């Protein structure tokens, strides 16, 4: 018997407990041993669950119990989750988590500690929810150097943008619907401001490039400023609007990492991924592009990834050598001013297409139904971000920038 403890009985934690109970026999066949949830740490009581007698409010009952071999951290946040996970690893217990903030901020330290103790720190559920991506990256794609990662990493923002594109909902109305359906929290800022997607792309970039990429190093924009006018112009350009997290390997040891809205051309596989679904494209030097697609959140999809990590540990208890990256004190992420992008602009004012081309160079002029006479929209050629900023400054007060969005290339 392999004894497991859960820290947290919220959405994910309760889903893990449910799967361990309901799929007991099939999991035993897959793991080669019985998986038994022995303790559940939570400040609340759950008297109507079939495992009500296993709850505790004392973390010491978990960390000090030598019979507990695997701990699932499902409480979220950075503190005290980090202290709890660190203590469990130090006691020689493997840890599984779905906590993207924890992995994005402390992944290198916890992975190193796990290797020192010959145990595992697994986090498949932290990026794609139920979509397998961490294990494929460090095992199935081991023969590849991964040079580029980009994708739709947040289901809530993708749902909102889908409603804006397909049903002409305003951002605010689509957000309210997402909250009503349970896709968005009461405070949706982590989703709509791009924070959640930033943590996820940091985890993927750290694994791909071998060194910790911290969220505070990454330029991050959300979707709250996207309007229906932008959606119309995207359609005229043959694109869909998506929130994209992307990371690219640059020359030397530098990389570019960015989260922002983007015009995604319709011939790109990501353009047709709608609603709460996520999609991540990895580009390996041997395989080319590989797409991972599915629901990126939800109780049971996320819990299934956690349980898969538990089964993996049960079958291979010794530390994984391939799941790793180093801590980094260096400034690995290049300054955003040096990134090259094409841009969509929507301007209002006394600026003609001829004057715009004089400033930005060759442009693709866009149009929409009922376009005001004093509004112009266009797509530029590729240029460094610093050049685009300089041109905006040169334009001065001739026109007001109503929208500016990068083009995914």
Q: What is the DSSP string of 269-336?
A: GGGG--TTEEEEEEEETTTEEEEEEEE---HHHHHHHHHHHHHHHHH--SPPSSS--B---S--BPPG
Helix axes 11-22, 24-31, angle to 10 degrees: 80
How far apart are alpha carbons 104 and 303 in whole angstroms?
A: 19
Where do runs of H (alpha helix) occur along 168-227? 171-180, 189-192, 195-209
Q: Rounded to 5 degrees, what are φ and ψ at 366?
A: -110, 160
**Paired sense of beta strands 239-249 and 146-152, if any:** antiparallel
How far apart are alpha carbons 24 and 35 in whole angstroms?
A: 7
- Are the beta carbons of 298 and 222 closer than 8 angstroms? no
Catalytic residue among 200, 211, 242, 248: 200
How far apart are alpha carbons 283 and 147 in whole angstroms?
A: 6
Strand order through the sheet with 55-56: 55-56, 35-41, 2-7, 68-73, 94-97, 121-122
**Paired sense of beta strands 55-56 and 35-41, if any:** parallel
DSSP 211: B
Respond yes or no: is residue 23 known to be catalytic.
no
DSSP 200: H
How far apart are alpha carbons 254 and 20 in whole angstroms?
A: 43
- Active site amino acids: 200
């Amino acid at each position: 018997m392999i004894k497991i403890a859960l820290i947290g009985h919220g959405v994910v934690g309760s889903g893990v407990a449910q799967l361990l109970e309901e799929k007991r026999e099939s999991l035993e066949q897959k793991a080669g041993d019985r998986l038994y949830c022995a303790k559940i740490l939570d400040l609340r009581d759950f008297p109507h669950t079939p495992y009500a007698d296993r709850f505790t409010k004392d973390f010491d009952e978990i960390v000090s119990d030598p019979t507990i071999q695997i701990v699932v951290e499902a409480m979220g946040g950075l503190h005290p989750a980090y202290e709890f996970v660190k203590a469990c690893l130090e006691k020689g217990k493997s840890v599984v988590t779905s906590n993207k903030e924890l992995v994005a901020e402390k992944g290198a330290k916890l992975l190193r500690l796990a290797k020192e103790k010959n145990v595992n720190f697994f986090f498949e559920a932290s990026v794609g929810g139920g979509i397998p991506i961490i294990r494929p990256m460090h095992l199935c794609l081991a023969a590849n150097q991964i040079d580029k990662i980009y994708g739709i990493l947040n289901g809530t923002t993708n749902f909102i943008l889908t409603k804006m594109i397909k049903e002409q909902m305003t951002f605010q109305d689509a957000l309210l619907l997402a909250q009503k359906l349970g896709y968005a929290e009461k405070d949706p800022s982590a989703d709509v401001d791009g924070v959640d997607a930033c943590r996820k792309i940091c985890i993927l970039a750290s694994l791909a490039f071998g060194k910790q990429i911290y969220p505070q190093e990454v330029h991050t924009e959300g979707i709250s400023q996207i309007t229906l006018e932008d959606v119309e112009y995207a359609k005229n350009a043959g694109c869909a609007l998506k929130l994209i997290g992307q990371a690219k390997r640059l020359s030397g040891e530098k990389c570019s990492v960015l989260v922002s809205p983007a015009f995604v051309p319709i011939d790109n596989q990501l353009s047709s991924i709608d609603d709460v679904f996520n999609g991540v494209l990895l580009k390996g030097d041997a395989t080319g592009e590989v797409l991972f697609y599915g629901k990126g959140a939800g109780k049971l999809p996320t819990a299934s990834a956690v349980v898969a990590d538990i089964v993996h540990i049960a079958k291979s208890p010794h530390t994984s050598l391939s799941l790793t990256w180093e801590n980094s004190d260096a400034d690995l992420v290049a300054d955003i001013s040096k990134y090259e992008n094409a841009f969509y602009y929507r301007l209002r004012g006394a600026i003609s297409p001829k004057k715009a081309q004089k400033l930005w160079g060759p442009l693709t002029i866009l149009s929409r139904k009922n376009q005001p006479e004093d509004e112009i929209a266009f797509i530029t050629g590729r240029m460094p971000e610093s050049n685009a900023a300089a041109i905006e400054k040169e334009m001065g007060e001739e026109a007001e920038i109503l929208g500016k969005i990068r083009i995914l290339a």
